Amino acid sequence: MQLDVVVLAAGQGKRMHSDRPKVLHELAGKPLLGHVLDTARSLAPRRIFVIHGHGAEAVRAAFAGAADVEWVLQAEQLGTGHAVQQAAPKLAADAQVLILYGDVPLVSAATLKRLLDASRDGVAVLTAELPDAGAYGRIVRDGGSVKRIVEAKDASPAERAIKEFNAGLYAVSAKRLAGWLGKLKNNNAQKEYYLTDIVGFAVAEKVPVAAVKVEDAAEVEGVNSKRDLAALERALQAREARRLLEAGVTLADPARIDVRGTLECGRDVSIDVNCVFEGRVRLGDGVRVGPNCLLKNVTVGSQTIVNAFSQLEESEVGANCRLGPYARLRPGTSLAEDVHIGNFVEVKASRIAKGSKANHLTYIGDSEVGERVNVGAGTITCNYDGAAKHRTVIEDECFIGSDATLVAPVRIAKGSYIGAGSTISKDTPAGQLTVARAKQVSLPGWKPKKKG
């Protein structure tokens, strides 16, 4: 039986107090809806239908490249049942239908497979328990069997005391769903068409209703406020920290790490507090990352040390390198092995070969730096002339004195020495000392102006 997925993502999210549609708010660097779509895709569905409404254009634009998504507009939000009604004509007649929410991002593929398996003979609903289920609909049972679902606003005091709540995720055949959607009424406190009513219809028709309970309520909790979003962020990061610890990564404090993408680690990796990893990050064996670092779309070679407060983005770092503290690698940087990039050194769109060092207060941009080069403190490559970028080439075994200015395009030939304070705007000869600074003059008769 083929699978169709329906994702409800039309809500405004008033309690978010934001102009951004709720499902576009980010969790671990990805929109809430993005998490749901990724999980849905892992089930290999025939089609994914996203019911959208509030901020429809922005939502579609955020997922413009999602060819496997069919957008279904709910122009007027009249409840969850009404939302699914918009997609019903598009569902395959023989499909098993999985109904998800765009603001319930942490549900796992394994849980959804359990839900689908439980729905083979009828309808299955996902549930969990909380000491106080708050605004969630309650699961009303009769002798252990699910009898109905009552919304919190329509529940009696006894029903509101029920701890088991409806997570809102369902699995059911398209044929049964179509018949039940046609029976929905809006005679309730909200004057909305509730999808939860299909459970009552199933019970009335003696169709089996399975309640699939998850142990971790965070897996099915939705986002209705910034407070909810922050709570799920910590829950997701705690899950990621557990994964890293189980893989052998040393975390100074599992509560103070943020992975906003994919983090792969080799053996004996250690990560200090308050580090953020974005995009795809790969840390080789024995890598050590100091506190308060940001790494985004970076590969770091084995035994490299990234010291405190360093920022690495869209770069490749070789083995046995030493970076920081306060080092910055901007996009397009490639470091070979045994390279040192020290404090307050910035590198952009440059390649630095084996054994070269820039240890202090330096900018290297649009450059090719050879092997065993020493770049002195305060050196900058002047790569931009106001209209175009130009490249600087520093060949092997050069020594660049402190406070040197290299005006691109320029080539510093192999074995060159550049005197401190020089401004180099012409290619240098190999193996020679080049000095380019104004002559020092002292004026014996000069006197400072008197202060008023």
Distance CA 232, CA 107 (A): 11
Is the preceding peptide bond at 291 cis, omega within 30 degrees of 0?
no
Distance CA 366, CA 387 (A): 14
Between β-strands 145-150 and 138-142, what pairing exists: parallel, antiparallel or unpaired? Answer: antiparallel
Q: Which of 308, 380, 369 is nearest to 334 (CA)?
A: 369
Distance CA 307, CA 176 (A): 60
Distance CA 106, CA 231 (A): 12
Distance CA 134, CA 408 (A): 65
Q: Which of 94, 219, 227, 238 is nearest to 169 (CA)?
A: 219
SS3 38: helix
Q: Which of 408, 331, 406, 415 is nearest to 370 (CA)?
A: 415
**Rg of the chain, C-alpha, whole Å:** 31
Distance CA 268, CA 224 (A): 40
388: Cβ contacts below 8 Å, ≥ 6 apart = none
Catalytic positions, written as ranges: 360
